[in-house]
Structures are given as C-alpha cells and as structure tokens.
Amino acid sequence: MSDRDLLARIDRLESLDEIRQLAAKYSLSLDMRDLDAHVNLFAPDIRVSREKTGRSHLKRWLDDT
C-alpha cells in the first residue's frame, strides 16, 4: 500500500469518527436540553428560512417550537 493510499485511508477513518462524534453530540445536546450546544453543531450560515440564516435565528426558531 502506497503512502497516498494510507493517507486516504486515514482521512476516511478520521472522517467517519468525526461523523460518529457529531451524531453523539447531537443526541446528547437534545437529551441534556442544551440548546446552545445543539445550535453550535450546525454550520454558522445555516439557513433557517428563506430570509433568515445563522445560528442565532436557528436558536430563536428552536426556542419558539
């Protein structure tokens, strides 16, 4: 196996681990009712509606639901 193949494999394994951690953090933030932690799992420019983007708008939307 070449160095390039090894690096690609390591990158894939690290990516899979990050996805697993994200799923766990998502569930835990909901279970703990930690809205700040939950909102911070999303991209800073998350689209909440046609006119609104950003975590602050997501947090307000979640607060209202």
Local mean pLDDT, 10-residue blocks, the chain (65 residues): 95 98 98 97 97 97 90
Q: How many domains does the chain have?
A: 1
In terms of residue numbers, what domain contains 48?
3-64
pTM: 0.80
Looking at residue 40, what is its pLDDT? 98
Instruction: Find all residues with CB under 8 Å of 62, minimum gap 6, and list them.
Output: 35, 38, 39
Looking up tokens 């708008």, which residue turns up?
57
